[in-house]
Amino acid sequence: MTEAERDEMIASQMGLCVICLKAPAAHVDHCHSTGRVRGVLCFNCNSAIGKWGDDPDAARRVAAYLEGTTWKPILVAPGVYQLPS
């Protein structure tokens, strides 16, 4: 991605991180599998995605947790649990 492309993307996002909508967009986020650029995020949101391993299911569990939805693993056999996705 060129600097001009990055600047254009930031302008299209009104200068804000597309996740938190508060902090300035400063860090180009990309898919680690494909290399495709997804957007420009703030440091904290970009770091969070990296810590969740680019896993959408982890992000969904985070959202459910923040909304107060509790979940527990489901026992399917002795010692074998099914985790919610």
Answer yes or no: do 83 and 71 share one domain.
yes
Answer yes or no: do 21 and 41 share one domain.
yes
Using CA atoms in the order 64, 69, 72, 73, what is the torsion angle rounded to 10 degrees?
-30
In angstroms, how far is the first alpha carbon of the chain from the final one?
33
Answer yes or no: do 50 and 61 share one domain.
no
pLDDT in tens, 17-66: 999 999 999 999 998 889 999 999 999 999 999 999 999 988 888 888 88
Q: Are the beta carbons of 50 and 66 closer than 8 angstroms?
A: no
Q: What is the pLDDT of residue 84?
A: 65
Answer yes or no: do 8 and 49 share one domain.
yes
Report the number of distinct structural domains present in the chain: 2
**pTM score > 0.75 for this model?**
no
